[in-house]
Amino acid sequence: MTIQRPEPKSPLESKPKKKLTSSELTRIIADNAIVGALYFVLTVALQPLSFGVIQCRISEILTLLCFWRPDFIIGLTVGCFLANVSSWTPWDLLFGTLATLLANCLIAYFSHRLLVAALWPVLINGVVIGSELKFLEINALPLYLNMIYVAAGETIAMAAGYALYLLLKRNKAFWAALKPARHSDFKW
């Protein structure tokens, strides 16, 4: 008598997706609209810090929300696009928004620790925006200095965000409002 064992599932097979109710979908859309609007308002309100050779977008703190809610990739990317409209540079609309999209995707899907998540925007924006500033001849600095300056500003924003979320780690009201889909028991 032979016992048949079930064949192991392929790692490529995904779990069946849960269908969202209309109230859950509405909540996701509203949350994304709020986060995107916050990104836009913080970027535009702090415009002298948000654009230029040395930039420190305080709004980039919000990108770490993708660590807990990958759906925020949409709201943050739209918020970045709308904020970049105010720069009046078509290349910034394209490259700045794509840099944010890429960093948010890396935060959401390739970060198992919050510290790693905070490094992605520094690297991506340093390279992409630093290159944009050089190749569009927005300034006369060498490429490596543009990258360093952008990465330094992004490091300040990410360090502030990292510290903020570590402080909020024990705030039950914040987590109840955020409704994290993953990493609810995150480690540094």
Model pLDDT, residue 81: 95
Q: Which residue has the higher pLDDT, 35 or 52?
A: 35
> Which among 36, 26, 133, 27 has a CA at the least distance from the CA of 76?
36
Q: Report the chain's mean pLDDT, rounded to a whole number.
A: 88
Q: Where are the alpha helices (DSSP H) in 17-142?
A: 22-45, 47-50, 72-85, 90-91, 97-109, 114-135
Question: Cβ(63)–Cβ(107) under 8 Å?
Answer: yes
Mean pLDDT of 170-188: 85
Buried b (16+ CB within 10 A) or exposed e, 5-22: eeeeeeeeeeeeeeeeee
Mean pLDDT of 89-94: 84
The pTM for the full model equals 0.85
Separation of alpha carbons 8 and 29, rounded Å: 37
Instruction: Report the percentage of the chain scoring pLDDT > 70.
Output: 89
Separation of alpha carbons 107 and 158, rounded Å: 12
Model pLDDT, residue 12: 44
Instruction: Report the percentage of the chain scoring pLDDT > 90.
Output: 65
Q: In the Cβ-directed half-sphere of 39, how many Cα atoms lie within 13 Å? A: 28
Question: Cβ(69)–Cβ(180) under 8 Å?
Answer: yes
CATH architecture group of domain 25-178: Orthogonal Bundle (1.10)
Total count of residues recorded for the chain: 188
Mean pLDDT of 35-63: 90
Q: Report pLDDT digits (tens) over 1-19.
A: 555 555 545 444 455 677 8
Tokens matching residue 169: 């780690």
Model pLDDT, residue 1: 55
Separation of alpha carbons 27 and 20, rounded Å: 10
Where on the phi/psi map is residue 85: left (φ > 0), alpha (ψ -120 to 50), or beta?
alpha
> Which among 130, 140, 121, 149 has a CA at the least distance from the CA of 62?
121
State the residue for tokens 């500003």: 153
Question: Cβ(65)–Cβ(38) under 8 Å?
Answer: no
Q: Where are the alpha helices (DSSP H) in 110-142?
A: 114-135
Q: Which residue has the higher pLDDT, 139 or 172?
A: 172
Model pLDDT, residue 10: 42
What is the DSSP code (8-state) at residue 63? G
